[in-house]
Amino acid sequence: MASNMRGLTQFIADIRGARVRDLEEKRINKEMANIRKKFKDGNLDGYQKKKYVAKVLYTYILGYKVDVGHMEAVNLISSHKYSEKQIGYLAVTLLMHENSDFLRLVVNSIRKDLDDNNEIHNCLALHAIANVGGTEMAEALCEDVHRLLISPTSESMVKKKAALTLLRMYRKHPDVIPAAEWALRIVAIMDDLDLGVVLCVTTLVMALAQDHLEPFAVCYQKAVDRLNRLVVEHEYSATYAYYKVPSPWLQVKLLRLLQYYPPSEDPAIQSTLYTVLETIMNNSAEQSRNMQHNNAQRAVLFEAIGLSIHLDANSPLVGTAAVLLARFISSKETNVRYLGLDTLAHLAARADSLEAIKKHQGTVIHSLRDRDISVRRRALDLLYSMCDVDNSELIVGELLRYLKVADYALREEMVLKIAILTEKYAPSYRWYVDTILELISAAGDHVGDEVWYRVVQIVTNTEDLQAYAARVVYERLKSPASHESLVKVGGYILGEYGHLIANDDGYSPLEQLHVLHTKSQFCAAPTRALLLSTYIKWVNVFPEIKPQLINIFERYRHVLDSELQQRACEFYALASRPDDDELLQNVCEEIPPFPARESALVGRMNKKHGATEDKRTWVHGGKDVNTDREANKQKRTPTGETPANGSASSPPNSAISALLGLDMSAAQTRNFDDNLASPGPAALLSKPSIAANVAVGPNVDRWFEKLSFSNDGVLYEDIQIQVGIKSRYQGHIGQVAVYIGNKLSSPFTSFTTKLDIEDPEALSVTFAKMPPTLIAARSQSQQILHVECKKFFRAPPILTISFLAGAHQTIAIRLPIVLTRFFEHVNLGPTEFFERWKLIGGAPREAQNVFPINLTAGGDIDRDRQRTVVSGHRLNLLTDVDPNPNNLVGAAVLHTSVDGKVGCLLRLEPNRDAKLCRLTVRSTSEDVSGEVLRLLKKPLSVDAAL
């Protein structure tokens, strides 16, 4: 289109024709002057404006600064002609940045384009926001963009752009996006049919989920499901295959997303994910001739390995991965070597055992000499991560040798890493001192102060080491060129511990003084000051050289540096005092050991780690470093499980016990109210919101109540959906089939189910396999749940179903899995029954309540119903125990897998005349008695929902 503007083409041709830079600049200046004049005169039509703005843009692209055209660009945006609009938007995205004042002027035009029916105008507007949008735009336009994203009428092209634009707004101004509130709706789009949309939404979810793990948790299963469809089932449109690899970008994103979450507990998801990862690794075994194919394949593979390591660094999958990586790091292709080393470093950072990696130590060390600096850097990182006590001498030795020839850009980092490794994995203190002194001599300029401080600390605190250190440092100082850091270490150590070696040959006080003092003239003032302190210490321990020392102080009294001068004067005065004076001795008392503290070096590293609000899921360094980091993160962002559970689980317990005997639905709602009312950030978390969403209503209660004492039936129904239940229980194990029927004439898409169990320690409910994401029109889908009762529990699990049928719908239902489902019959005769009855005794292990009942139409006790309820709750009705035929007596044993069995006895005594009924439950556990009473009372009393 540039070709449609002759003036522009001419301009470009002129600039290309300019032989030297000066001419080019001249031509540009001339043009800019012309444009400025034209703009100033005004009265330009759209075409002219477009042409001049295009020239300005070209100038900008060449790298020149431009200061005209902003206003015209703003005008072009509101033009009705697409060609002018497009150039206008291009100019806005190129010439302006998020804080430009001009952007205020375009907000309204952008809003108009967002609301336009023409999708290519929507796209232009979205693109502009995504590139230059700042806080202000986010505030003004967030709602519009969100609407474009979720509207069912939006085209894929618009949805994609809207997703990324929303992400930009979130980055710039997180507060405008109610992330938790929008979470389910946004995650639902991950099931879109268009993979392009899925890619963009996944990117958005990745960013939001990092900060809001809990509300977005459902994206975990979406990601696994999508990977399964791409990788295992090959379910994707052919155009999304890139050199035969199904959308590698999407795969990489999904694999990365999964690394933000702790590994899933759900066995169905786990097994699907393992299949996916396995398939990816197997796919990579076949090498193709096509480079692009290999590239894409490996991009996915490396991310998959990363995820495998994240899931479980000791799984057989990672074993396979380690073998692959070993092959990669000796590959001919540089890119592969680079990424191989990088991923191995990840493995080393997480794995419990470094054995698998150590096998390839030789190759890694060899990589330090690769001809590519990028590879050398990765090799250094890996060596740092894979070092431990066994191989530290070797690795540190190699690093020291390499340090002398290393690139300058690398040295400082290397020194820090060597110092840390030396300290962390030193096999002996002597080796430590040797190595650090070697390090200081080899790379003096790059050695930070922390390094030598730490040596001093360690030597001071380790008595055995002091004489040795003094000797070694003395030997090193004898060499003609010593680095200043070495002089500092020498000054300190000889001053403190020089006297320990003074009686040996060649280490006499005079010689020590000589060695140190000849270095002092090459040193800066702070070092000299340190040496003066050394001398005053010597005055105390080496009286034989006192005259020389006093002489030195005397000379330093006249230097210009005020700090040195003051020190010298003070020391001079101190040294000149009479010999029997105790002051000197007291001043020069031996340094006491330092309090044990964390190494300043590691501290420096950790500080860097701690501050990362990062996208990386691991850092270089050993396993412990990563574990610490996780812990830090937990501390910093207390949005995890713990507080959520804390606030959500304690109120219900206390509330239920307080309200024991009241009807159940009331208790439930009360709890939920409590939760909602609980202030603070916890209220934003998912538990309360799920609870608040639990479907209520007379029907829902009736269905739930009915199913709590029968095996099959309807659990929920409305005009769109029907949920039915079939269940079987044996002992502490149960199997529940949930039938979900779509009653509409259009399919449910993005179908998602989620289970919330208040106390997973007590009750486990899992899907047998991952649920489908689509339920066709007028059809039914069956999902099997495995149930296991581990301990006593009260709250039934909550099943949350969400789907897209036009709008996004969410229904949360209590599953009728209650304590009595895990009862098994016992048969007792009258004597046995009463024996046990008495044995258990009264309160607190007895729970009793008297409540009103309804009579049948004939004015009699509804005996059939009572029998159905009691036996439906899986208690064995015992005959011949109670002489009164109206009374019911039952017995059962509760099976739990962790806490074992609990016996439970029951007596129901209705009274027709009083329309009352007394229910007594005795059990060896007071919790069980109370709970059984609560469960049975409801359907028997007048409050029964049925």
Decide if 832 contacts 880 (C-beta within 8 A). Answer: no
Query: What percentage of the chain's residues is helix, strand, coil (to nearest 5)?
Result: 60, 10, 30
Instruction: Extract the tokens encoding 307.
Output: 């995820």
The footprint of other proteins on residues 305-334 (CB under 8 A) is 333-334
For the bound state, the minimum distance from the C-beta of residue 117 to other proteins, rounded and expressed in Å, comes to 14
Dist CA 275 CA 847 (whole Å): 51
Nearer to other proteins, 377 or 794 (CB): 377
Dist CA 300 CA 302 (whole Å): 6
Spatial neighbors of 350 by CB under 8 A, at least 6 apart, are: 309, 310, 313, 618, 623, 626
Q: What DSSP designation does 729 have?
A: E
Q: One-letter amino acid identity for 478?
A: K
Q: Which residue stretch of 105-113, 320-328, 365-373, 466-474 sits at the interface with other proteins (rule: CB under 8 A)?
A: 365-373
The only residue of 68, 148, 195, 469 in contact with other proteins, by rule CB under 8 A: 195
The footprint of other proteins on residues 541-570 (CB under 8 A) is none
Nearer to other proteins, 69 or 910 (CB): 69
Dist CA 740 CA 747 (whole Å): 12
Nearer to other proteins, 520 or 617 (CB): 617
Nearer to other proteins, 155 or 759 (CB): 155
240 binds other proteins per the rule CB under 8 A = yes
The footprint of other proteins on residues 266-305 (CB under 8 A) is 290-292, 295-296, 298-299, 302-303
Instruction: Extract the tokens encoding 354.
Output: 């470094």
The only residue of 44, 46, 735, 882 in contact with other proteins, by rule CB under 8 A: 46
The only residue of 29, 33, 47, 389 in contact with other proteins, by rule CB under 8 A: 47
DSSP letters for 559-590: -S-HHHHHHHHHHHHHHTS-TT-SHHHHHTPP
The footprint of other proteins on residues 53-72 (CB under 8 A) is 54, 57-58, 61-63, 65
Distance of CA 520 to the CA centre of its chain: 52
- What does residue 31 show for φ and ψ, rounded to 5 degrees? -65, -45
234 binds other proteins per the rule CB under 8 A = no
Nearer to other proteins, 167 or 700 (CB): 167
Nearer to other proteins, 335 or 925 (CB): 335
Question: DSSP H helical segments within 804-946, as ranges?
Answer: 830-840, 863-872, 926-940
Nearer to other proteins, 168 or 537 (CB): 168
Dist CA 18 CA 538 (whole Å): 76
Dist CA 667 CA 848 (whole Å): 18
Q: One-letter amino acid identity for 822?
A: F
446 binds other proteins per the rule CB under 8 A = no
The only residue of 20, 409, 481, 596 in contact with other proteins, by rule CB under 8 A: 409
Q: Which residues of 261-284 are buried (b: 16+ CB within 10 A; e: fewer)?
A: eeebebebbeebbbebbbbbbeeb
For the bound state, the minimum distance from the C-beta of residue 362 to other proteins, rounded and expressed in Å, comes to 21
How many other C-beta atoms lie within 10 A of the C-beta of residue 684? 17
For the bound state, the minimum distance from the C-beta of residue 372 to other proteins, rounded and expressed in Å, comes to 4
Nearer to other proteins, 239 or 586 (CB): 239
Which residue reads 């607190």 in tokens? 844
Nearer to other proteins, 167 or 740 (CB): 167
The only residue of 98, 673, 824, 862 in contact with other proteins, by rule CB under 8 A: 98
Dist CA 554 CA 679 (whole Å): 72
48 binds other proteins per the rule CB under 8 A = no
216 binds other proteins per the rule CB under 8 A = no
Q: Which residue stretch of 34-42, 94-102, 523-531, 544-552 sits at the interface with other proteins (rule: CB under 8 A)?
A: 94-102
The only residue of 9, 34, 518, 637 in contact with other proteins, by rule CB under 8 A: 9
Nearer to other proteins, 59 or 512 (CB): 59
The footprint of other proteins on residues 883-902 (CB under 8 A) is none
Secondary structure element (H or E) that encloses residue 724, with its range:
strand 721-730
Nearer to other proteins, 304 or 799 (CB): 304
The only residue of 73, 90, 230, 736 in contact with other proteins, by rule CB under 8 A: 90
Spatial neighbors of 108 by CB under 8 A, at least 6 apart, are: none
Nearer to other proteins, 146 or 161 (CB): 161
1 binds other proteins per the rule CB under 8 A = yes
For the bound state, the minimum distance from the C-beta of residue 351 to other proteins, rounded and expressed in Å, comes to 19
Q: What DSSP designation does 580 have?
A: T
For the bound state, the minimum distance from the C-beta of residue 104 to other proteins, rounded and expressed in Å, comes to 18
Nearer to other proteins, 346 or 537 (CB): 346
Decide if 732 contacts 895 (C-beta within 8 A). Answer: yes
Answer positive or negative: Cα dihedral of 122, 125, 130, 131.
positive
112 binds other proteins per the rule CB under 8 A = no
The footprint of other proteins on residues 370-399 (CB under 8 A) is 371-375, 377
Nearer to other proteins, 46 or 661 (CB): 46
Secondary structure element (H or E) that encloses residue 831, with its range:
helix 830-840
Dist CA 183 CA 24 (whole Å): 53
The only residue of 196, 498, 771, 816 in contact with other proteins, by rule CB under 8 A: 196
751 binds other proteins per the rule CB under 8 A = no
Q: Which residues of 934-943 are buried (b: 16+ CB within 10 A; e: fewer)?
A: bbbbbbbbeb
19 binds other proteins per the rule CB under 8 A = no
What is the size of the binding site for other proteins (CB under 8 A)? Answer: 84
Q: Which residue stretch of 51-59, 211-219, 644-652, 816-824 sits at the interface with other proteins (rule: CB under 8 A)?
A: 51-59
The footprint of other proteins on residues 578-617 (CB under 8 A) is 608-609, 611-616
415 binds other proteins per the rule CB under 8 A = no
Give the closest residue to 551 by CA, choosing from 530, 578, 528, 532. 532
Nearer to other proteins, 51 or 476 (CB): 51
The footprint of other proteins on residues 69-88 (CB under 8 A) is 80-84, 86-87
The only residue of 95, 103, 142, 252 in contact with other proteins, by rule CB under 8 A: 252
For the bound state, the minimum distance from the C-beta of residue 205 to other proteins, rounded and expressed in Å, comes to 12
CA 575-579-584 angle, 5° bins: 50
For the bound state, the minimum distance from the C-beta of residue 366 to other proteins, rounded and expressed in Å, comes to 16
The footprint of other proteins on residues 118-177 (CB under 8 A) is 120, 123, 126-127, 130-131, 157, 160-161, 164-165, 167-168
Spatial neighbors of 43 by CB under 8 A, at least 6 apart, are: none
The radius of gyration of the chain from alpha carbons, rounded to an integer in Å, stands at: 39
CA distances from 384 to 415, 427, 438, 603 (A): 11, 16, 18, 16
Dist CA 377 CA 373 (whole Å): 6
Nearer to other proteins, 163 or 817 (CB): 163
CA distances from 281 to 247, 691, 923 (A): 16, 41, 55
